[in-house]
Amino acid sequence: MNKLNINQQLKPYLDELNITDINCIVKDYLLTEVLFKISQFKERIEFFEKKYNKTFSEFSKEYKSSEENFEQYDDLMEWEFAVQGYKYWNKKLEEIRSVI
């Protein structure tokens, strides 16, 4: 196993924060990054829900039954990406929590 060397100049900060284990740092970092991604996707979903006053599912059905609209198509694609990203990172969050 590789030993992790911590810069001794950082040691006082780690001590002050009561961080004694590298696993604690990795766990907190992972959770922070995943929660940040989830919040970014959620923010984008909420933007489109407010813009169209609909859920993604409602908007998608409505779009498919209407005439082509390039702005709405772009929004649909971005919204779908946000929904998929939100689901993906929520699943990853559950996976991480199951091993912590």
**What does each of the 100 residues of the chain score in pLDDT, given as a tens digit?**
456 677 888 888 888 988 878 888 888 899 999 999 999 999 999 999 999 999 999 999 999 999 999 999 999 999 999 999 999 999 999 999 998 7
Residue with tokens 């979903």: 45
- Rg of the chain (C-alpha set): 21
pLDDT at residue number 25: 83
Q: How many whole angstroms separate alpha carbon 64 and alpha carbon 61?
A: 5
pTM (predicted TM-score): 0.81
**Total residue length of the chain:** 100
